[in-house]
Amino acid sequence: MRRRNLAVLFLITTGILFLLAKRSSAQRQGDLGPQSQRGATGADWPSHYGTNLAWRYSNLFQINTANIKRLLPAWNFQTGDYQVGLQSTPIVIDGVLYLSAMDDVFALDGATGRLIWQYKYQPVPGATVGRNFGVAVGDGKVFIGTADAHVVALDTKTGQEVWKVAADDWSSCRCGIQAAPLLVKDKIIVGERGPRGRISAFNARTGQLEWRFYTIPGPGEKGNESWAGDSWKNGNGNPWMTGSYDSELNLVYWGVGDSTPAFYGAGREGSNLYTESVLALDAETGKLRWYYQEIPHDVWDYDAGWEMMLMDREVSGRMRKLLVQFAKSGFAFVLDRETGELVKAYPYVDNVNFVKGINEKGELQGRNEPVEDEVTLICPGNIGGSSWNQSAYSPRTGWAYVPALEMCNDLKVGPPAKYGGMGGSFVFNAPPGHATAYSHLDAVDPVTGKRQWTYPYKFELFASILATAGDLVMTGDPEGYFFALDARTGNKLWSFQTGAGNRGSPITYIAGGRQYIAVPTGWTQVGDLTTGIWPEAATWRHGSTLVVFALPEDSK
């Protein structure tokens, strides 16, 4: 009997050890359950944020904390467009890398950088090409939105146009698209800027318009009453960046920008829906399921248009489907993505004075509104607590990795006739008690806001963050250095001078069995605005080059 009990105990112990070892192995590979598989990339980088959950996280771990110091350039590609720097996110499918620069699209061999094909868009007469944040790939096509409000589908093999449609009449509305399209099932969805922002879905096969949602409601539509008089006609509400998508709920989430004029609210009394809002739209119909307005009646030029990370996390003892946005206002908003209910709002920057706080109902407490014709110090400034650069989320650590900018501005406001289209003028300034502005990259619990570690930096961190199963967090700085930190400690492990400032979004992928990290480089005019506070900014180099790294061949 005793031998039998010992045998049973041995088998149970062996089984437990096996399961623990299997779990440990899975964790090393970043395999932490079904949502991790939906939120993480593998060999490809198939969409703008990696996946439609917007984590910017890869399951790849061939490059890791143990060997990152051996990382070397493998190849680079110059786009030839140097006006605004390379700010787009590459897409990789089956070893082919698709890259946009301005309104050009390139298909490159992911292992060598060899040009497979190039497409050059010709804008309508009078229009110019402009900043473009990337493409979408699927259904045998590459999709791009253009600065003159067109959506174009190209054949993935040849780069030839399959179809091209006008999202709007550029000559009358001066509308345009700069965000990367979002592919959802058989629809390609784009955010369009203009007098009234809009989110539109087109049939991916034919280009036919399927549905459209205006971010500024017109007469007779719910929310129009939140605009005084006819101010809705030029309400703005631009959907600056790409949305996220939950396939289980079949909801598309899109962030909306600020009102017009940005700083002067006297002519647009009301909460100004749906500016400064997160929208949940039915993917099939475009109907509004719910909205959450972060900043009613914005007078500081804060956008809610930034990326939205979708994750399932435990809150007060139960699992909830969450949406987390680190917004331009310097606050993170944690929402229930099924209902739009506010779970928590917390500041992720150190210097905030536009409000004294946000309560549990989401109400702004102690608004510090600029006074007409007087100088008011506002923190964060209108570059924001973060800008176009995107955060990342690792399911291995459970932390978000967030670039935060500590900069304020001296703001003076008044009627547009006196102060221009924004209704104000501003000069960037240091936060109170600091000699100059600065930034930091933080590891943050995305639900509670608790900071786990911080990496300080003397200038602005304006490139997106990449996190991997190799326990790496990677990004670049305006001085030209692309660098890697330990995801668990924040210790700097490696850096490389890329030759130009970093403003784009790095990715990682596999080609020919080898892991690559692709880094868009090239500074931008937005960064040049900061020369008044950092004279060094005048030396940060422009350019438009994709620099691609890999381990030496013998390290595969």
Strand, helix or coil at 68? helix
Under DSSP, is residue 532 helix (H, G, I), strand (E, B) or coil?
helix
Of 456, 416, 437, nearest in space to 529 by CA: 437
Contact call for residues 503 and 387 (beta carbons, < 8 A): no
Measured in whole angstroms, how far is the alpha carbon of residue 345 from the centre of its chain? 19
Token duo for residue 476: 């670049």
Amino acid identity of 527? G
Diameter of the chain measured on Cα atoms: 95
Cβ atoms of residues 270 and 232 within 8 Å? no
Catalytic residues: 301
Q: Are 390 and 465 contacting, i.e. CB atoms less than 8 angstroms apart?
A: yes
Please state whether the peptide bond connecting residue 509 to the residue before it is cis, i.e. omega within 30 degrees of 0: no
CB 324 within 8 A of CB 333: yes
Quote the strand ranges of 337-437, DSSP E.
342-347, 357-358, 364-365, 376-378, 392-394, 399-406, 408-413, 424-429
**Residues 100-120: b if buried by 16+ CB within 10 A, e if exposed:** bbbbbbbbbbbbebeeebebe
Q: How far is it, in rounded angstroms, from Cα 211 to Cα 162?
A: 21
